Homo-oligomer: A and B are copies of this chain.
Amino acid sequence: MQSNTFGKAFSITTFGESHGPAIGVVVDGCPPGLAIDLAHIRTELLRRGPGQSHLTTPRQETEDFEILSGIFEGVSTGHPIALIVKNKDHKSEDYLAMKHVFRPSHADLTYQKKYGIRDYRGGGRASARETLARVAGGAIAKQVLAKYQVEIQAFVGQVGHLSLADYTSIDYSGIQENAVRCPDPELATMMEKEIEKAKELGDSLGGVIGCHVLHCPVGLGEPVFDKLEADLAKAMLSIPAARGFDIGAGFASASMYGSAHNDAFDVEGEKIVTKTNHSGGVQGGISNGETIHFKVAFKPVSTIALAQDTIDIKGKKVILEAKGRHDPCVLPRAVPIVEAMAALVVCDHLLRYRCLADFVQGT
């Protein structure tokens, strides 16, 4: 069944395996007449790309992309935009040894059982390399959102045990200034060391990404199943290695009293605002005009250099000593992925809402 498509009004369909010929995306529903900024797409792909710092996998990919359709004389035509990136620096021979082995906490076993076949090279479709298609699609979504002044900022809030105390007051300018993408420079330095240490140990680390959607208009999201936070949750949990999502006060809200959690309404000039924002910018599933803020938890990377007990395809116990290049911690590279998925959700809901615009009084 169709399962490689995300979004309704603005949708992406992705394809491609880590060591196949190419990774690609088809964006369906991009409004026409938009001057597409290719340099911005490239910047976004490089933010996600491998080899960007000593903290990431050394796989080298220039992430050169080709636009195959949907853009004419630099402008979107309203037709599907297809974009592909050819895979170049894949070393499939590294994976030959793992052809018959199920790597712990990877998709090897589940793919093999589900399909009776799997492309074992570099994780195939389960590789995080698939997310470049999302980042490309998300870049276009960001360009649509820019027309409505909506902006998205994600950042690393936690690596291993090191965590920001507060995920709501963020100096966005600090995010891009270090390899970890943590807005607190001191914490960033500590995180960097922590990642280097894990790398030396042949081990890996998880962490948490925070994300803010700024200037989101009121009214995005649907009352019941397609609540804005529900679609964000799905988007985030669809990212490889993501294990948790919460919005606003999130899991912490579980231990708050209602009187402390409720966001009192107030007025600033003509605008209705909330005095606090424990709701994370979403009430009843619909954006209320405040900053949308949420968190995404990532498990430590499953690929580690340390020897591990596992079994092979015949059910025989073996010791796995993994080869293949990988990141000791995906968090820095996950920042643009989280942003891309958030952009896709918000852009989708924004266009969905516009179809009612003729009918809503006073907006």
Contacts and interface: CB of A to CB of B under 8 A. Distances in A.
Given A3-B226, A109-B283, A257-B204, A104 B358 contact: no
Nearest to A104: B262
A111 interface: yes
B244 A21 contact: no
11 contacts: A2-B28, A20-B68, A33-B361, A104-B265, A105-B283, A160-B254, A203-B257, A243-B247, A244-B244, A246-B246, A264-B310
Contacts of A115: 32-33, 77-78, 356, 360
Nearest to A22: B68
Q: Ordered nearest first, which 8 A-B pairs have the shortest CB separation?
A: A107-B284, A244-B246, A204-B258, A234-B234, A3-B222, A31-B359, A110-B286, A258-B300
Interface in A90-126: 102, 104-111, 113-119, 124-126
A324 interface: no
A304 B262 contact: yes
Given A75-B117, A79-B124, A114-B219, 8 more contacts: A1-B8, A113-B288, A114-B360, A125-B224, A227-B237, A243-B249, A250-B297, A251-B251
A70 interface: yes
A288 B5 contact: no
A25 to B, nearest CB: 9
Contact of A227 (B238, B267, B309): B238
Interface stretch (A11-19, A38-46, A167-175): A11-19
B254 A298 contact: yes
A82 to B, nearest CB: 4
B219 A110 contact: yes
A251 B198 CA distance: 19
Interface residues of A, number: 159
A7 interface: yes
B114 A218 contact: yes
A301 interface: yes
Interface string A212-251: 0000001101111111011111111110101111111111
A311 B269 CA distance: 13
Contacts of A67: 21
Contacts of A15: 26, 68-70, 79-82
B351 A264 contact: no
A292 to B, nearest CB: 12
Contacts of A211: none
